[in-house]
Amino acid sequence: MNISLITDFPLHLLQNGRSKIDVFFEDEVLYRRDPSNKKFPFSSISLADISTNRSGNNNKISCPNDSKYIVKGTDVEIYSGVVYILSIKRQNFHVELKKTYRETSEKDGMPYSYIVEMYLVHKPDEYNYAHTVIEITFQGKIMSFNPDTGVYNRGLGRKDRLASKMRSILRDEIQKMVIDKTTV
């Protein structure tokens, strides 16, 4: 359905020229839809382009119900299902927007390391001011599933033992942010 035809589309989600906010509040949470019905949904999440909505202080930016609007261009789909609530505080993102993980292994007697960073970035768009992404970098490169670049498959998605360990760590970190879930 076209966005202009949805009478209950929440106006507070419209960006209306507002700038992004580069800090997160201690009690702030993120909302993320999950249609998978899994008990450990973030243990199997794709580690690139992880979209969420930020709540702001006391849901001033968005609330769980706002996650039901999926805006594609000027068209909107309405989602019905589970929305997970992730705590910012659980990963100290209110203190620092970046978390760094370094793991080392050995191949043919030679030590090597991978460095993965996880960032929380407020990325408002025209119809969703709350839009926030968990951005992952591998050896300094932002992971993305863009098939033209193949960045993920050559990076964090590569099939070696250490990369697999890093993926498990990141999924575990995100899963541990979950503090509740609700249905919209």
Partner 1 sequence: MLLLNRNPKHEISAQARKFQNILISLSGSDVLFGFNPKVIQSLGEDGDYRKLINFYSDSITKTYNLDLKSNFNKLNQKIELSNEQRKVFETFIEFLLSIGISEEKIIVEDSIEEEIIVGRIYHSGTKMISINSFGDIMFSKSGKDKCEDSREFIDFEQFDAESLAYKFLS
Binding interface with partner 1 (CB under 8 A): 38-40, 43-46, 89-90, 157, 159, 161, 164-165, 167-169, 171-172, 175-176
How many C-beta neighbours within 10 Å does residue 118 have? 21
Cα-Cα-Cα-Cα dihedral sign, residues 39, 49, 184, 26: positive
| DSSP per residue, 120-146 | EEE--BTTBTTEEEEEEEETTEEP---
Cα-Cα-Cα-Cα dihedral sign, residues 167, 100, 134, 177: positive
Question: Rounded to whole angstroms, how far apart are CA atoms 81 and 154?
Answer: 34
Give the shortest CB-160-to-partner 1 separation in angstroms. 9
Give the shortest CB-149-to-partner 1 separation in angstroms. 19
Residue whose CB is less far from partner 1, 20 or 38:
38
Chain length of the chain = 184
Give the shortest CB-89-to-partner 1 separation in angstroms. 8
Give the shortest CB-168-to-partner 1 separation in angstroms. 4
- For tokens 């450990």, what's the residue? 40
Residue whose CB is less far from partner 1, 16 or 43:
43
Side-chain-facing half-sphere of 170: CA atoms under 13 Å = 32
- For tokens 């906010």, what's the residue? 21
Residue whose CB is less far from partner 1, 121 or 179:
179
Question: Rounded to 5 degrees, what are φ and ψ at 42?
Answer: -85, -5
Residue whose CB is less far from partner 1, 124 or 157:
157
Residue whose CB is less far from partner 1, 122 or 167:
167
Residue whose CB is less far from partner 1, 74 or 146:
146
Give the shortest CB-29-to-partner 1 separation in angstroms. 14
